[in-house]
């Protein structure tokens, strides 16, 4: 994985102090250590699921689904996987009915994922599905040790797996939360962790990534006032759900009150897919308000060398220039052309190139963004790991639910 920054920055000092803060933070924040974990017990658990199970339904929302979905949707188009994953992430009845119509209960194992064990969406869906299929052996629960959900699972004799301590939902993709569904689908989770570990070592052991990520984080923090919208522009459809994962990670981690002031600060994440969004959002980047930075993500080798055939179409001769070109070369030329065009407009850019679509590379990319998020959070003085802003809506909902019950009785 390469990362080229097209902007300049000095400030060695700020970078070093941010690095020191992260080295400290490692001791209390659990996600940093996930690349080195021993996955023997996870693989043993995965082996207990019968080969007759061909569908895995994940009942979880936010951090409990976005990471696994990002990796699954990245790998799926290039690999024949062992099992299909289905994600129940909404209380939309149309969505629930539509997803359930695709499942065969006899061939489905359900993973119920909730850190706290009391997520409204997850348990309304679980109750509905459990009313259709009450075999405890069809369910595995992933939750915090000693949560009410663990106690419930034990009560019905269903399997329970645990989240490691001090790992927040949106940083949990490389823990049981992401690894269990991915292992069940047939994705190589050791390779995924290896990719994350490579990135981690390059950062913490003063390799290539240390300087690069630090520079980028300091640039984002220092220019927070102007460039407060941070776009990922990924040139492959396989990265569509990676962008959704990024949006949660970035938005929920960095949109906060500052620790030492009353300021509301935040950096707004945008996920774009090229070349499609050249025909949509690009105009706004190019000629709109100068408040956006852009990170291009390219795949060097698509390993799918379909070529534009050498066909001349009468009256469309201007398109002959495309003939004999591999699509993989075309899409990367499209990306490079947009980079060049934006550089002329003096918009802060960088580009990440990953060699190909596999587990190692998505593992590296995920860890890269987690580190970047932690660094920027530190530099803009927010608590990167909480989300107090979503509580008030939950409390209002609870009041409404209680009123509804009171109204009925």
Q: Which of residues 24-53 bind a copy of itself (CB under 8 A)?
A: none
- Interface with a copy of itself, residue 401, by CB under 8 A: yes
**Residue 164 lies near a copy of itself (rule: CB under 8 A):** no
Quick check: is 252 catalytic? Answer: yes
In whole angstroms, what is the distance from residue 149 CA to residue 158 CA? 11
- Residue 344: CB minimum distance to a copy of itself, A: 7
> Under DSSP, is residue 350 helix (H, G, I), strand (E, B) or coil?
strand
Minimum CB distance to a copy of itself smaller for 180 or for 254: 254
Q: Which residues face 86 on adjacent strands?
A: 57
**Using CA atoms, how far apart are residues 312 and 318, in angstroms rounded to an integer?**
9
Cα-atom radius of gyration of the chain, to the nearest Å? 23
Q: In the set 43, 78, 136, 206, which binds a copy of itself (CB under 8 A)?
A: 78
| Site residues (CB under 8 A) for a copy of itself, limited to 203-222 | none
Closest contact distance (angstroms) between CB of 297 and a copy of itself is: 12
Query: Phi, psi at residue 229, to the nearest 5°?
Result: -115, 120
Q: How far apart are CA 370 and CA 171, in angstroms?
A: 7
Q: Distance (Å, rounded) from C-alpha 231 to C-alpha 264?
A: 21
Helix (H, G, I), strand (E, B) or coil at 315: coil
89 binds a copy of itself (CB under 8 A): yes
Residue 149 engages a copy of itself in binding (rule: CB under 8 A): yes
Which residue in the set 115, 216, 256, 298 belongs to the binding site for a copy of itself (CB under 8 A)?
256
Residue linked to tokens 């608590």: 383
The answer to whether residue 145 forms part of the interface with a copy of itself (CB under 8 A) is: no
Residues 79, 110: contact at Cβ < 8 Å? Answer: no
Q: Examine the residue annotation and report whether 394 is marked as an active-site residue of this protein.
A: yes
Asked if 128 is part of the footprint of a copy of itself (rule: CB under 8 A), the reply reads: yes
46 vs 254, beta carbon nearer a copy of itself: 254
113, 118, 123, 127: CA torsion to nearest 10: 120
Distance in Å, CB of 245 to a copy of itself, minimum? 9
- State which of positions 273-312 bind a copy of itself (CB under 8 A): 273, 275-276, 278-292, 302, 304-306, 308-309, 311
Residue numbers 306-325 binding a copy of itself by CB under 8 A: 306, 308-309, 311, 313-316, 318-319, 321-325
Q: Are 398 and 390 in contact (CB under 8 A)?
A: no
Is the bond leading into 222 cis (omega within 30 degrees of zero)?
Answer: no
Does 84 bind a copy of itself (CB under 8 A)? Our answer is no
Residues involved in catalysis: 252, 279, 394
């Amino acid at each position: 994985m390469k990362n080229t920054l097209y902007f300049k920055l000095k400030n060695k000092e700020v970078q070093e102090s941010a690095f020191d803060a992260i080295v400290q933070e490692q001791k209390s924040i659990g996600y940093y250590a996930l690349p080195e974990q021993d996955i023997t017990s996870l693989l043993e658990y995965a082996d207990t699921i019968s080969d007759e199970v061909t569908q895995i339904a994940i009942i979880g929302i936010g951090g409990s689904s976005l990471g696994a979905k990002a990796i699954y949707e990245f790998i799926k188009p290039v690999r024949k996987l062992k099992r299909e994953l289905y994600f129940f992430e909404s209380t939309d009845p149309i969505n629930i009915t539509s997803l359930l119509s695709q499942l065969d209960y006899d061939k489905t194992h359900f993973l119920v994922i909730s850190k706290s064990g009391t997520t409204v969406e997850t348990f309304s869906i679980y109750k509905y599905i459990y009313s259709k299929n009450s075999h405890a052996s069809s369910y595995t629960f992933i939750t915090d040790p000693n949560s009410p959900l663990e106690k419930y699972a034990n009560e019905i004799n269903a399997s329970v797996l645990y989240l490691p301590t001090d790992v927040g939902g949106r940083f949990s993709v490389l823990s049981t939360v992401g690894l269990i569904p991915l292992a069940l689908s047939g994705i190589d989770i050791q390779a995924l962790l290896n990719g994350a570990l490579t990135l981690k070592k390059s950062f913490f052991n003063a390799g290539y990534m240390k300087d690069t990520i630090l520079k980028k984080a300091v640039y984002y923090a220092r220019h927070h006032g102007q460039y407060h919208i941070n776009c990922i522009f990924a040139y492959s459809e396989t990265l569509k759900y990676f962008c959704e994962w990024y949006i949660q990670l970035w938005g929920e981690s960095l949109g906060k009150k500052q620790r030492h002031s009353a300021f509301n600060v935040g950096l707004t994440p945008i996920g774009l897919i090229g070349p499609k969004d050249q025909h949509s959002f690009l105009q706004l980047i190019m000629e709109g308000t100068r408040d956006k930075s852009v990170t291009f993500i390219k795949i060097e080798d698509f390993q799918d060398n379909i070529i534009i055939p050498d066909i001349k179409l009468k009256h469309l001769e201007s398109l002959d220039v495309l003939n004999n070109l591999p699509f993989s070369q075309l899409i990367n030329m499209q990306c490079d052309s947009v980079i060049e065009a934006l550089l002329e407009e003096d918009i802060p850019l960088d580009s990440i190139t990953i060699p190909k679509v596999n587990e190692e590379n998505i593992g590296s990319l995920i860890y890269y963004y987690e580190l970047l998020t932690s660094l920027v959070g530190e530099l803009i003085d927010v608590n990167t790991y909480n989300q107090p802003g979503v509580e008030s809506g939950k409390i209002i909902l609870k009041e409404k639910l209680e009123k509804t019950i009171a109204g009925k009785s």
